[in-house]
């Protein structure tokens, strides 16, 4: 009769051994979740370590400090969003715009924390590297729209109009995440109609936009 404990009895399960990339991804995901709800200055390395089930030393090992972690997490979110915004030819301008919005809101829905962390906060959080990351996403979206509308070089009026619309899309995304009291297809269609309305206003100030609106609509 065996008196010893069976193999593995009374022992703690071994800690999961993750690859470097996988561990970094887990830490960044935990950080994005926190940054999406609180200002970056209110999130500590200890908060991130606790949320990720890791040690404080491990977070420092991979990222060096909170600012490095913040930038890495936002860069990851931005790269994922930008991959959705690559222009795709084949349809009429408004059809392509609608498809682009659908891909944009797919990201908003699937990566809510990343989207919220990327766009959350005021001007104080938009300096240096962080500001460059956010502006990079906006430039990608601007170029996508410009290509969809077959515009080589937008006039000042059109440029202002498109950038204003992009700001509206960002605000709509954050509002939808907070409330979710409007169906996504309805919101996406409303934003397409919003674009047409903005172009209509711009057309009264710029004849070239009037021609563009006739082609787009």
The CA distance from 36 to 135, in Å, is: 18
User: Is the predicted pLDDT of residue 195 greater than 70, yes or no?
Assistant: yes
CA distance 34 to 47: 8
4 pLDDT tier (thresholds 50, 70, 90): very low
Q: pLDDT (tens digit, 9 = 90+) per residue, 142-167?
A: 998 998 898 999 999 999 999 999 99
pTM for the whole structure? 0.82
Instruction: Report pLDDT for 130.
Output: 87
Please, is 172 exposed, middle or buried when counting C-beta atoms within 10 Å of its C-beta (0-12, 13-18, 19+)?
Answer: buried
- According to the model, what pLDDT value does residue 6 have? 42
Position 163 scores a pLDDT of 97
Given a cut of 90, whether residue 61 has pLDDT beyond it is yes
- Extract the tokens encoding 87: 């222009």
Report the distance separating Cα 143 and Cα 159, nearest Å.
11
Would you state the pLDDT for residue 10?
46
pLDDT at 30 over 60: yes
Q: What is the pLDDT of residue 128?
A: 83
Q: Given a cut of 60, is residue 5 above it in pLDDT?
A: no
Of the chain, the percentage scoring pLDDT greater than 70 comes to 87
- Concatenate the DSSP letters of all residues of 13-36 into one string: PPPP---HHHHHHHHHHHHHHHHT
Q: Is 172 left (phi over 0), alpha (psi -120 to 50) or beta?
A: alpha
């Amino acid at each position: 009769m065996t008196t010893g404990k069976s193999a593995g009895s009374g022992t703690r399960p071994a800690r999961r051994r993750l690859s470097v990339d996988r561990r970094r991804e887990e830490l960044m995901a935990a950080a994005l979740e926190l940054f999406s709800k609180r200002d970056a200055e209110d999130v500590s390395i200890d908060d991130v370590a606790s949320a990720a089930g890791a040690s404080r030393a491990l977070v420092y090992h991979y990222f060096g400090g909170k600012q490095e972690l913040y930038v890495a997490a936002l860069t990851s979110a931005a790269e994922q969003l930008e991959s959705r915004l690559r222009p795709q030819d084949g349809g009429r301008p408004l059809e392509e715009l609608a498809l682009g919005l659908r891909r944009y809101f797919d990201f908003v829905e699937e990566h809510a924390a990343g989207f919220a962390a990327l766009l959350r906060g005021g001007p104080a959080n938009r300096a240096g590297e962080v500001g460059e990351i956010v502006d990079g996403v906006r430039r990608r979206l601007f170029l996508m729209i410009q290509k969809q509308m077959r515009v080589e070089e937008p006039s000042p009026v059109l440029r202002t109009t498109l950038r204003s619309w992009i700001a509206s899309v960002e605000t709509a995304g954050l509002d939808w995440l907070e409330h979710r009291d409007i169906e996504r297809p309805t919101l996406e269609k409303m934003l397409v109609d919003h674009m047409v309305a903005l172009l209509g206003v711009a057309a009264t100030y710029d004849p070239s936009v009037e021609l563009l609106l006739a082609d787009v609509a």
